[in-house]
């Protein structure tokens, strides 16, 4: 059972764990890519997002299995050849951008929910991410997959309570607002943005031994990523269009629901997702450095891992002063097109060709 889980579900769960904080943890991302096209347009936009994630992960997982490339440096060398370093630049930018969103959101969540100074959340994030980064792949895999199940339960609870409390308002939002043009392209862009992190989770595909396993695991990655997003999206519809202007929509939803349990539990789980994303991205960067040193006969010391994590987080927190709405609206939009060019298109062309010829 454990072997089956690692081969088929672990890659998708780790992918979802790394993506969630920057993908839909606060709800602001869902506003930017889906809800601004209306309730129906947003739901329709989730279809191309799911499909492009599944198709690209199928090829990416199989390519990693074929060439045994489980860190992003070696993987990108197979995919892009001498142009692999372009991803390095883009990935470092993405780390800082997503960690900045996480840092900004953490301060907002703790201040609005618990009236706690945001700096305390920052220190907690720094310490936990550095701790996980120090202990390496095994602990990170276990933490990311376990927290995913907790997250699924909490998102399902948020969805069911919203249906119970605001069911007519959700139905009214879906039936009275037409889809706005642009939902297909925006959904595609959203999926492509999440795929920026595909090379960062390849350490979780090392358990895959056969092509069939890689294809199934890749196909499951899209639904595993998007199901919690869809549950969250339905909860947001009860407050459309007022929720469009909220910097952290999840706080507004929790306040409107008035559930003391969710008001306490959801922020804790949300901050856990921030830790998941930060840990996964930084771990991938550490593995890339370790792989580069290994190629020249050297080893990355264990003590260096939390130091690298701390340096990246501090840099991102300086960037977070820009504000979460601006970071997502401007930064995410720009990075989307970059990663379409260096990940999605190469995998769906060069990657597919390399897989097909074997």
- Cis check for the bond before 241: say yes or no (omega within 30 of 0): yes
Write the DSSP symbol of residue 178: P
Domain containing 46: what range?
2-356
Q: Please tell me the pTM assigned to this model.
A: 0.83
Q: How many domains does the chain have?
A: 1
Q: Taking the CA atoms of 48, 50, 53 and 57 in sequence, report the sign of the dihedral they define.
A: negative
- DSSP assignment string, 310-331: HHHHHHHHHHGGG-HHHIIIII
Contacts of 127 (CB under 8 A, 6+ apart): none
Task: Please give the chain's pLDDT, 358 residues, in tens.
Answer: 568 888 999 899 889 888 876 678 778 889 989 999 999 999 999 999 999 999 999 999 999 999 999 887 889 899 998 888 888 888 888 877 777 777 777 776 777 667 766 667 666 766 777 676 666 556 666 766 677 778 788 888 889 999 999 999 999 999 998 899 999 999 999 999 899 889 888 988 999 999 999 999 999 999 999 999 999 999 999 999 899 988 778 888 888 888 777 777 777 777 777 777 777 777 778 777 887 787 778 887 877 777 777 777 777 767 666 655 566 666 677 788 888 999 999 999 999 999 998 7
């Amino acid at each position: 059972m454990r072997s089956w889980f690692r081969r088929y579900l672990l890659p998708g769960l780790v992918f979802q764990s790394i993506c969630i904080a920057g993908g839909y943890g606060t709800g602001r991302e869902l506003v930017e890519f889906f809800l601004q096209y209306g309730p129906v347009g947003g739901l329709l936009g989730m279809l191309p997002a799911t499909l492009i994630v599944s198709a690209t992960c199928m090829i990416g997982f199989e390519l990693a299995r074929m060439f045994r490339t489980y860190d992003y440096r070696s993987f990108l060398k197979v995919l892009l050849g001498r142009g692999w370093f372009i991803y390095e630049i883009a990935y470092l930018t993405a780390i800082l951008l997503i960690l900045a969103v996480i840092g900004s959101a953490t301060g907002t969540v703790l201040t609005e929910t618990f009236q706690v100074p945001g700096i305390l959340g920052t220190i907690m994030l720094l310490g936990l991410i550095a701790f996980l980064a120090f202990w390496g792949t095994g602990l990170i895999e276990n933490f990311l997959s376990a927290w995913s199940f907790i997250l699924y339960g909490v998102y399902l609870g948020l969805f069911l309570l919203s249906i119970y409390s605001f069911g007519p308002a959700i139905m009214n939002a879906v039936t009275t607002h037409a889809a706005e043009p642009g939902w297909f392209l925006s959904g595609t862009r959203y999926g492509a943005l999440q795929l920026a992190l595909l090379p960062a989770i390849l350490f979780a595909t090392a358990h895959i031994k056969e092509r069939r396993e890689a294809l199934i695991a890749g196909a499951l990655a899209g639904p595993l990523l998007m199901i919690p997003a869809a549950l969250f999206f339905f909860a947001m519809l009860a407050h459309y269009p007022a929720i469009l202007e909220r910097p952290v929509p999840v706080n507004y939803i929790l306040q409107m629901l008035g559930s003391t349990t969710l008001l306490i539990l959801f922020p804790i789980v949300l901050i856990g997702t921030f830790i998941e994303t930060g840990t996964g991205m930084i771990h991938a960067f550490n593995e890339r450095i370790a792989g580069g040193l290994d190629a020249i006969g050297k080893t990355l010391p264990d003590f260096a891992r939390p130091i690298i994590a701390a340096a990246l987080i501090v840099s991102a927190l300086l960037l977070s002063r820009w504000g979460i709405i601006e970071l997502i609206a401007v930064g995410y939009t720009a990075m989307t097109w970059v990663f379409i060019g260096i990940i999605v298109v190469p995998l769906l062309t060069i990657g597919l060709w390399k897989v097909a010829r074997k």
